[in-house]
Amino acid sequence: MIGHSRPTIGNSDWKILQKVLSSARLCENGCVRGLERRLKAFIGARFALAANSGTSALHLILLGLGVTRGDRVLIPSYVCSSLLNAIMYLQAKPVVCDIDAHNYNLSFAAARPKITKKVKAIILPYMFGGTTDIDKFLELGVPLVEDCAQSLGATYRGKRLGGFGAASLFSFYATKVITTGQGGMILTNSPALFSRVKNLIEYDERQDYIVRYNYKMTDLQAALGLVQLKQLNGFIAKRRAIARYYDRAFSRYGISVAVNDPGHIYYRYVIRINSPLKQFAGRLRKKGIEAKPPVFMPLHRYLGLERKLFPNTEEVFKTALSLPIYPALTASQIKLIARSVIEAL
């Protein structure tokens, strides 16, 4: 079976873990600070704070921005429930918006009318490895949180995502672009925001008491992250090459929506199918290929909001299927996937 996603783990990953284990210093040590330094240099941000997941990174950012009970936070509907969770931890109110059906990201047209004084942040997830018109969102004057969990290394106007807004978060979950098993990172250019999130995570041996969060990354995770980050450019090149192969293979069939985004890293390769998705995925499974909807459930459905208020999300949810695309795929697997998709049509 060709799995839907799979991390790329090689000898250097094994070696670094052995090294950290034999050092007997497993918690927060040199590797965590090293990964923070490397990632902020790579993206071009001033400050970095490692966390144990993307969700906890997002929770800390919202806390650091002062989001509190009753405040509103804008998010798209077509994204994982992690965003909803981070907002709910604070008893804030999610303002769920429709998406742009072409790039799968938060729709500016849907978001703009929902901006009020109560909206304390916009979370903009860059879906599937590509982006949208960030400039327009920045002009709204609300702190913009860039969710780069799926788009590490992707660019907007030639600059890497993660340094545009008030803060950004990254995820190193097992299936993300690089992995530490579980892990996350906050980047920001704001010294004030950085000192607030740092204060919230450094809970031990403090003079004062406030509620703080044990969201720390371990050195085992960070060591893996350092080795993975070194390979990132190669990973991205491989993802883009696979995407170009699929593009060519599918060009005559009208199933791949051209994303037309030169900075895309193809965390996901999404095709649009007009027949029932489950049956189509079933036909692929029979050929040994696992394809999945790229988002399990739109958030407006979880929240019981009216479906007709989210026409693009609904349309995409009913037609979008994500194919395996990751550096560990072999040339013959890539060929088999493309051929099987065409046969399954």
Nearer to ligand PLP, 80 or 289 (CB): 80
Q: How far is the CB of 297 from ligand PLP (least distance, A)?
A: 14
Number of neighbouring beta carbons within 10 Å of residue 103: 20
Q: How far is the CB of 183 from ligand PLP (least distance, A)?
A: 7
From 51, 101, 110, select the one nearest 75 (Cα to Cα). Answer: 110
Structure tokens at 217: 């990354």
Torsion of CA 47, 227, 127, 333, to 10 degrees: 170
Alpha helix segments (H runs only) across 75-133 = 82-89, 108-111
Nearer to ligand PLP, 60 or 255 (CB): 60
Angstrom distance (rounded) from CA 157 to CA 155: 6
Nearer to ligand PLP, 119 or 299 (CB): 299
Residues that bind ligand PLP (CB under 6 A): 53-55, 79-80, 82-83, 125, 147, 149-150, 171, 173, 184
Nearer to ligand PLP, 178 or 341 (CB): 178
Q: How far is the CB of 69 from ligand PLP (least distance, A)?
A: 22
Q: How far is the CB of 26 from ligand PLP (least distance, A)?
A: 20
Q: How far is the CB of 301 from ligand PLP (least distance, A)?
A: 17
Q: Which residues of 250-278 are buried (b: 16+ CB within 10 A; e: fewer)?
A: beeeebbbebebebbbbbbbbbbbeeebe
Nearer to ligand PLP, 40 or 59 (CB): 59
Nearer to ligand PLP, 250 or 324 (CB): 324
Q: How far is the CB of 57 from ligand PLP (least distance, A)?
A: 8
DSSP state of 177: S
Alpha helix segments (H runs only) across 65-184 = 82-89, 108-111, 134-138
From 54, 58, 83, 56, select the one nearest 184 (Cα to Cα). Answer: 54
Half-sphere exposure of 226 (CA within 13 A, CB side): 22
Nearer to ligand PLP, 182 or 256 (CB): 182
* 50, 185 contact by CB (below 8 A): yes
Q: How far is the CB of 129 from ligand PLP (least distance, A)?
A: 10
Nearer to ligand PLP, 110 or 299 (CB): 299
Q: How far is the CB of 125 from ligand PLP (least distance, A)?
A: 4
From 175, 109, 155, 138, select the one nearest 322 (Cα to Cα). Answer: 175
Angstrom distance (rounded) from CA 123 to CA 97: 11
Q: Which residue is nearest to ligand PLP (CB)?
A: 54
Nearer to ligand PLP, 61 or 149 (CB): 149
Q: How far is the CB of 250 from ligand PLP (least distance, A)?
A: 24
DSSP string, 22-75: HHT--SSSHHHHHHHHHHHHHHT-SEEEEESSHHHHHHHHHHHTT--TT-EEEE
